[in-house]
Structure 1
């Protein structure tokens, strides 16, 4: 039983480490120095822009590799995903009037964009 717990914990650490690597070093440094929610918000905003640029870049690369039907399908899925991301993150940001919820909403958008970019990268280059 203990052995299974150790294996599970190790797997979680590996996944967490891999996810953290998708953030820019600038973001990590910025958040380490942030001493207010305003400063955190600026870090998140800058990283969100980087992740959005990454997502747009990989989306365009993937579109260039697909046939016309696959392009149509990806375009439709991407629009649906964006609508979900925006609604989901707006919900998180409006749970309360407190500044921490605005940070949560902003982090939601950043995280979902990062995850979607990584997902499309895996589709673009399977097995890497």
Structure 2
């Protein structure tokens, strides 16, 4: 247990040194299949909470028209994640839970970091050169 705590602390410092917004996940290698599946599920839950936070931060900074685009993209991403991880969950045997939980964690992490970058890029470079037109027929029109 002491070694795992030391490893987690070292990983946090490494992530901070690299400028990463979140500490790296500790490896899920102890406790057999059940323990690894639980670990991946906990990590997925943490990334889901981070994802929600990053989404809300981006929504709070974007103008209304861009918020609508982000909301539509997020809804599509949620559907895609569900379908993609369902494929991993369709495997036979005990590996299915590892693959499914790993998929959920990895996709949530990738989307969280994507939204983190989007939000920071918007703060640094607000779009003053383009206006976004939203209508029922065209969800991504730029004028």
Moved beyond 2 Å, runs of 4+: 21-25
Q: Give the Cα–Cα distance (whole angstroms) in 1 for the partners of residues 71 and 95 of structure 2.
A: 33
* Unpaired segments ≥5 residues, structure 2: 1-13, 125-143
Alpha-carbon distance, 1:35 to partner = 3.0
Q: Which residue of 2 aligns with 1:124?
A: 119
Quick one: distance in 1 between partners of 2:64 and 2:89? Answer: 37
1:2-59 residue CA offsets vs partner (Å, 9 max, x unmatched): xxxxxxxxxxxxxxx97xx77756x415x24x13110001101111111000000010
TM-score by length of 2: 0.66
Q: What is the deviation of 1:80? A: 0.2
**Alignment: residue pair count:** 105
Equivalent residue for 1:38? 34
- Structure 1 length normalisation: TM-score? 0.74
Alignment match, 2:26: 28
**Higher share of residues assigned helix:** 1
Across the aligned residues of Structure 1 and Structure 2, the Cα RMSD in angstroms comes to 2.2
**1:22/1:39 CA distance change after superposition, 3 Å:** farther
Other structure's SS at 2:26 match: helix
Q: Which one has more relative contact order, counting CA pairs under 8 Å at least 6 apart? A: 1
Stretches of structure 1 lacking an aligned partner (at least 5 in a row): 1-16
Distance in 1, matches of 2:22 and 2:118, equals 19
Q: 1:92 aligns with which of 77, 88, 92?
A: 88
Q: Which residue of 1 aligns with 2:104?
A: 109
Greater gyration radius: 2
Inter-partner Cα distance in structure 2 for 1:76 and 1:119: 15
Aligned-residue offset at 1:97: 2.1
